[in-house]
Structure 1
Amino acid sequence: MRKLLIAGAAVLAVAGCAGGATTEPSATTTTTTTVPVTTTPAGPTVTDAQAQKLCSDIDAQLQNWRVQGPTLGRAGLNILVQTWAAESGTINLSVFQDRALVDRVTTDSCADVRTQAVQELAIPDLASGLVGI
């Protein structure tokens, strides 16, 4: 029994020298991040009158672009589209955010004029010819 008491005292003495560190169970932290889903409202709709104006403006320039060549013609396309967008008011920002809008409008309203313009300007689509927009 005496050996048991001495062994118990030795265990307590060693435990007392252990530096007082205690082991606590590790806590698990779970973080949940919620990402808000936002939808971009549809841009202003191009009216039939606005679409026809763009088509007639491009059609009126086709002969000039044939004479001037693709390089000067593309500069003319930029001026034409910027003027059309500014005159159209609410679609101005839409054209700057989405140059392909010009292709969609002309494809729907005057595909033949669009095709001629693309050929004369030597570009794959009208959006490709718009710089600075």
Structure 2
Amino acid sequence: MTARRGRLAATVAATAALAALVGGCSSTGDSPTPGNSAQTSALTSTPKSSATQPSATAGGESGAATGVTDAQATQLCSDIDEQLQSWRTYTPTIGKGGLNTVVISWATANGIDLLKLAGDRGQIDTITTAQCPQVRDGALYALEIPNLASALIGF
């Protein structure tokens, strides 16, 4: 039980850190120094190696647009499903924090780029719609939200 609380505390800390990171990294388009805008565009335009990302044409993909395997999508669905009862018990506000914890823990465990995920939070809806629509609907109902992306904090 102590190990589980420790993991939960670490996950909450990671959620807060990610929210701060994403909030601090958001840009209004104005660069404080001329070198920053060039550096940012060079970083964002660097193509990812096919060795680190699953191929969109490889078998076992839950969706070419999402770039996750069926096993990863199944794990996300399972992680969300495990939390549904808690989210039904507590207020939607607390449950939304739990959704963030689940998504960040899942992404971290599967080597998914959190910044890329933050830029396209709709991926979570795409994955869950394709892999586990009943679990997704349960989460939407419990959290009282129109889609999962709308509950992701700091994105």
* TM category, shorter: 0.5 to 0.7
- Render the CA deviation track for 1:71-130: whole Å, top value 9, x for unaligned: 100010011101111111034343122000000000000000000100100000000000
The whole-number CA distance in structure 2 between the counterparts of 1:111 and 1:100 is 14
1:81 aligns with 2:103: yes
Q: Which runs of 5+ in 1 are unaligned?
A: 1-38
Runs of 4+ in 1 over 3 A off after TM superposition: 39-44, 90-93
CA distance in structure 1 between the partners assigned to 2:136 and 2:47 by the alignment: 27
Report the Cα distance in structure 1 between the residues aligned to 2:149 and 2:107, rounded to whole angstroms.
14
Q: Say if 1:62 and 1:116, in contact at 8 Å, map to a contact too.
A: yes
Structural RMSD (CA):
2.1
* Cα deviation 1:4-38 (Å, max 9, x = unaligned): xxxxxxxxxxxxxxxxxxxxxxxxxxxxxxxxxxx
Pair 1:85–1:66, CA change in 2 (3 A): same
Of 66-75 and 82-91, more deviation after overlay is shown by 82-91
* Counterpart for residue 126 of structure 2: 104
Deviation at 1:69, TM superposition (A): 1.9
Letter in 1 for 2:98: G
Amino acid at match of 2:136: R
Q: Distance in 1 between matches of 2:46 and 2:152?
A: 23
Which of structures 1 and 2 has the bigger CA Rg? 1
CA–CA distance in structure 2, aligned partners of residues 114 and 98 of structure 1? 17
Instruction: Count residues with an aligned counterpart.
Output: 95
Give percent identity, aligned residues only. 49
TM-score by length of 1: 0.65
Provide TM-score, normalisation by structure 2: 0.56
